[in-house]
């Protein structure tokens, strides 16, 4: 029997999942769950790295003897180390405002077509490149001391066992990696005067990079999205996937990157998958809108469970008003319900006043944006998608899954719920020689994991709303 431990960090919580694998039988359970509470410190919005590491050690203690462990996290964020390998400061959160204006400054140095052609990454202010440019401009003393950059999963690995490696899937979120060669883009580094020595050696997903108390420390797929996609249960040839959590990432697997101007203008990204494929996808703000709305109502003295919010949405009038989830005003923390109302008022739509109306607007807008992104993928790849696999926390949201199926007009297959942790576990089992490859692991999950299938219903009733939604995005430049 092999015992492997997967640490899965999300933007609001983290978990340690212990798996046991014996004779092709996989069982797993959560041994530790903890909150991930970023906070303002020294003028920036930061992750509390010491608290997270304390919880890693609690998870290790609860798990007991293990054969291996690995970390996966959100993308783009990093820690900077000095010449002695010490963390210089707590990592800054991607939602911090320090990158404001950095994209525009960068494009004066390297135009967007060239930057996208080198990296294949959707140009977004949160990306690592623009965070680094903010450090250079606003924290020159920190930049002068920095000798090593480690992305978040690699930073946890380093803090635990001292290894310094950069796993490729997490590197592909940075706007610095060339997805064709799977190496750092020399033109990007040169243009922005970033020394390649800042980065740890690149390693592929599933590389053993160190040891902790006899357990192998494995660089699985550091980016949680790629862990989730690794656990896609035996996907059909023309299947699309939606990794649905705080962020939604909707895409498909390709053999190579798409680096055209059309792809850039549509805001599509090429990320390296754990199996060596390219995950060609669209980044969409996801359950963040619901999570932060719930927090706002709590700040106002109104406490709702997610089940209550879903029920209130069900009771509200359908297809009444919509938002673009990716409009810039929805990215920062704060009064999301108020911003939803402002958006609808500004665009001449009925203003959602009640909690249920706001929730209905958010749910339907996500479903419509998923259809919009799916159409963009069809346009570029020529694929005619037959199913959409929903992975991660969003699989538990039956209303969102049903609405998505009805809106896109093809079946939605939701599950497994624990896709991110399961992908992490599968990659570890491949590294330990227990599985031949990720494909074998996917077949095992298809045979053992529970999924829920949602058939499209009342698709025609969504078509008129979708035509309106396309015009709404076009008018408000929300489609890019």
- Please tell me the pTM assigned to this model: 0.91
Tens-place pLDDT, residues 265-293:
999 999 999 999 999 999 999 999 999 99
For residue 463, name the pLDDT band (cuts at 50, 70, 90).
very high
The pLDDT of residue 480 is 34
Chain centre to alpha carbon of residue 122: 13
The pLDDT of residue 226 is 96
The pLDDT of residue 77 is 98
| Peptide bond before residue 416 is cis, with ω within 30 degrees of 0 | yes
At residue 245, does pLDDT exceed 90? no
Of the residues 90, 178, 224, 324, only one is catalytic, namely: 224
Whether residue 224 lies in the annotated active site: yes
Tens-place pLDDT, residues 394-416:
898 999 999 999 999 999 999 99
At residue 235, does pLDDT exceed 80? no
89 φ/ψ angles, rounded to the nearest 5 degrees: -165, 160
At residue 459, does pLDDT exceed 90? no
Tokens 């357990």 sit on residue: 215
At residue 478, does pLDDT exceed 80? no
For residue 254, name the pLDDT band (cuts at 50, 70, 90).
very high
Tens-place pLDDT, residues 94-114:
999 999 999 999 999 999 999
The pLDDT of residue 475 is 84
Tens-place pLDDT, residues 177-187:
999 999 999 99
List Cβ<8 Å contacts ≥24 apart for 103-110: 103/130, 105/133, 106/130, 106/133, 106/192, 109/191, 109/192, 110/187, 110/188, 110/191, 110/192
- The average pLDDT across 57-70 equals 98
Tens-place pLDDT, residues 335-357:
999 999 999 999 999 999 999 99
What number of other Cβ atoms are within 10 A of residue 399's Cβ? 16
Tens-place pLDDT, residues 138-160:
999 999 999 999 999 999 999 99
């Amino acid at each position: 029997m092999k015992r492997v431990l997967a640490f899965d960090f999300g933007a609001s919580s983290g978990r340690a999942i212990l798996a046991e694998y014996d004779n092709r039988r996989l069982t797993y359970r959560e041994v530790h769950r903890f909150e991930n509470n970023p906070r303002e410190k020294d003028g920036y919005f930061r992750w509390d790295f010491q608290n997270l590491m304390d919880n890693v050690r609690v998870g290790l203690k609860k798990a007991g003897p293990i054969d291996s462990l690995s970390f996966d996290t959100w993308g783009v964020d990093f820690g900077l180390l000095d010449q002695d390998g010490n963390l210089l400061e707590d990592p800054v959160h991607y939602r911090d405002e320090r990158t404001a204006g950095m994209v525009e400054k960068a494009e004066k140095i390297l135009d967007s077509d060239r930057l996208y052609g080198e990296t294949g990454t959707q140009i977004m202010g949160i990306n690592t490149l623009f965070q680094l440019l903010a450090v250079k401009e606003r924290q020159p003393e920190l930049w002068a001391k920095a000798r090593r950059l480690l992305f978040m999963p690699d930073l946890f690995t380093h803090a635990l066992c001292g290894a310094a490696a950069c796993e490729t899937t997490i590197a592909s979120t940075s706007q610095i990696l060339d997805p064709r060669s799977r190496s750092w883009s020399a033109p990007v580094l040169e243009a922005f005067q970033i020394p390649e020595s800042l980065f740890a050696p690149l390693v592929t997903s599933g590389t053993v990079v160190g040891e902790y108390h006899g357990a192998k420390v494995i660089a699985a797929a550091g980016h949680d999205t790629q862990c989730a996609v690794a656990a896609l249960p035996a996907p059909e040839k023309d299947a699309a996937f939606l990794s649905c959590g705080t962020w939604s990432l909707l895409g498909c697997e390709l053999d190579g990157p798409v680096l055209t101007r059309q792809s850039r203008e549509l805001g599509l990204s090429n990320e390296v998958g754990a199996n060596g494929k390219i995950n060609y996808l669209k980044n969409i703000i996801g359950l963040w809108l619901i999570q932060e709305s719930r927090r706002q109502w709590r700040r106002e003295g109104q406490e709702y469970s997610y089940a209550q919010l879903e029920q209130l949405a069900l009771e509200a009038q359908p297809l009444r008003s919509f938002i673009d989830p990716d409009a810039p005003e929805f990215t920062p923390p704060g009064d999301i319900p108020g911003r939803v109302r402002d958006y609808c008022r500004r665009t001449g739509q009925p203003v959602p006043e009640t909690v249920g109306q706001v929730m209905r607007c958010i749910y339907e807008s996500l479903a419509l944006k998923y259809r919009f992104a799916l159409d963009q993928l069809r346009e570029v790849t020529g694929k005619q998608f037959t199913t959409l696999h929903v992975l991660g926390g969003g699989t538990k949201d039956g209303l969102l899954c049903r609405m998505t199926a009805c809106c896109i007009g093809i079946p939605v297959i939701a599950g497994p719920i624990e896709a991110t942790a399961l992908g992490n576990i599968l990659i570890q089992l491949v590294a330990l020689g227990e599985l031949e490859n990720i494909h074998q692991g996917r077949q095992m999950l298809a045979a053992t994991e529970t999924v829920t299938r949602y058939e499209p219903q009342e698709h025609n009733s969504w078509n008129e709303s979708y035509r309106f939604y396309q015009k709404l995005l076009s008018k408000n430049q929300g489609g890019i």
